[in-house]
Amino acid sequence: MQLPEVVRTSALPASFLAVPFSARVLFLVRRIPPGCVATYGDIAALAGRPHAWRAVGNIMSGCGRRDVPCHRVVAAGGRIGGYGGSELLKRALLVAENVPVSGWRVREFSRVRWRPRRSRRQ
């Protein structure tokens, strides 16, 4: 099933909400382009459960799929956060995608924060 692009919780079609939360999270994370990041809270809100940021973190930590760029999901305020036990690897992957990182924080966070465009179907 191909899921529609979404922007805000209020715009989620019922068919998207019928899909399990973990599948919605993985669908959204796959859409974060290289050079951009989103927070666990951003993904939770876009997936229809705005307070489920911790659940998003758990899904990311257990993912292990090469087609899901889990390293592009960061903690609130641009903190790098964990990455399967290797924050150094997460930092290196972000730097390789030209995400500006200083220490353990994404610099210019508002510039590189992913904000999906509105769907034209709304």
Q: Is there a catalytic annotation at residue 70?
A: yes
Question: Could you tell me the residue ranges of all domains in the chain?
Answer: 19-111
Q: What is the pTM of this model?
A: 0.82
What local confidence, expressed as pLDDT, does residue 8 receive? 44
Q: What is the pLDDT of residues 88-98, one digit of tens each?
A: 999 999 999 99
Domain 19-111 has CATH 3.30.70.1070: no
Write out the two tokens for 38.
Answer: 């989103």
Which of the following is catalytic: 52, 70, 106, 112?
70
Q: How far is CA 41 from CA 2, 37, 50, 98, 120, in A?
A: 23, 12, 6, 23, 24
Q: What is the pLDDT of residues 3-35, one digit of tens each?
A: 444 444 445 566 666 689 999 999 999 999 999
